[in-house]
Amino acid sequence: MSNNDFSQMRDGAFQLFTDNEEYDNFVAKFKPKKTSDDTFTPDDVYDAVASWVRQRFGISEQVEFIRPFYPGGDYINDYIARKEEYAAGMVVDNPPFSILAQIVDFYLSRRVRFFLFCPYLTCLGNLNRRPDVSICVCNTNVTYGNGAEVNTAFVHNLDPSVLLENTPDLYEAIANCPSQRKKDVQRIVELPRNVFRQSSVGKLLSKVSINRNEAIFVRTVGGYEIFGGGLLVSDAVAERAERAERAERAERAVVVNLTPAEQRLLEQLNARQK
C-alpha cells in the first residue's frame, strides 16, 4: 500500500473493507442508536410553541429558553453545570417521554421553571401529587422529524392557579407550521332522523325490519346527495330504530359509581365553589 493510500485512509477517503456486509454490521454496533426517546422536534414547531409560551405567560425575550434534551444529552449534568442560567431562564423543550415523571420532579425540587412536551394520552398523570403542575391540551398530532405522529400535550409549572386548560390557539400555531402535514377536516353529515342509510340499520345488533309501505328510496335529501342512496322512513320506523339503539347502548354500558370516599371528595370540591 502506497503512502498516498495511507493518507487516504487517514482522511476517510479510503475504505479497507469496501462492500463488506459483516464489517458494516460490526461497525454499526458502535454507532449511537436513535430511539423513540430521541427528540426530533421540527424547528418551526418548537418556535411556534416557544412564541406561544412567551405570549401566554408574559415571558420577556431576555429570558433564555434552555433546551437540555437531545440525543446523548444529560439534563442533570447540564443543570449542575449551568445552575445560574437555569435560575434566570426556563426549560422549554421536548424531553424523553419514558422518563418524563422523573424530569418533572427533578425540576420541581430545584424550582426550575419549565414548559415541556408530553404525551396527550397520559398527560393528566403528571398532576398526581404535584400541586404546582399544570397541563395544556390542544389535541394536536405533531409530526416529528423522525416521521412519528404523536398526539401531544404540554406540562408546566408557570401558572399554579390553573390545573388544566384547553389551548386552541396553540393548536392553530402548531397546525400552521410548514413541517406539519395538512389534514383535510372530515365533515360530519347529520341526516334527518327519518333518513336511513344502510349503516343506520346495519350497526344495530337487534333485528329491525322495514316494510315496503314504511319507506321510499331517495338519492338526495335537502339538496345533499347520499352516496349509494338512502331511505326516507316513517316516524314509526325511526322510533323503532331509536329504541333499539338506546336498548343496545344501555346493555353494553359499564356504569361506574363513586365510592363513599370519592363522594365526600366531590362534596368538598362543590363546597369550595360556594
Per the rule left: phi > 0, alpha: psi between -120 and 50, beta: everything else, 27 is alpha
Q: Is the pLDDT of residue 163 over 90?
A: yes
Q: Is the pLDDT of residue 58 over 80?
A: yes
Instruction: Provide the mean pLDDT of the chain.
Output: 86
Any idea where the domains of the chain sit in the sequence? 43-175, 190-274
Place 159 in a pLDDT band, splitting at 50, 70 and 90. Answer: very high
Task: Give the full edge-to-edge strand order of the sheet including 224-233.
Answer: 195-196, 224-233, 215-221
For helices 168-175 and 43-57, what crossing angle results, to 10°? 150
State how far the Cα of 274 lies from the Cα of 264, in Å rounded to an integer: 16
pTM of the model: 0.72
State how far the Cα of 59 lies from the Cα of 17, in Å rounded to an integer: 55
- The pLDDT value recorded for residue 26 is 57
CA 125 to chain centre: 14
Averaged pLDDT for residues 134-151: 90
SS3 260: helix
Span 173-206, pLDDT tens digits: 999 999 997 766 678 889 999 999 888 878 776 7
What cell does 206 get? Answer: 337487534
Averaged pLDDT for residues 12-18: 47
CA-to-CA separations, 230 to 98, 111, 164, 241, in angstroms, rounded: 49, 62, 44, 15
Of 168 and 38, the one with more pLDDT: 168
- The pLDDT value recorded for residue 6 is 44
CA-to-CA separations, 57 to 13, 16, 47, 113, 143, in angstroms, rounded: 52, 57, 15, 12, 25
Place 13 in a pLDDT band, splitting at 50, 70 and 90. Answer: very low
- The pLDDT value recorded for residue 31 is 55
State how far the Cα of 57 lies from the Cα of 157, in Å rounded to an integer: 11
Q: Is the pLDDT of residue 142 over 70?
A: yes
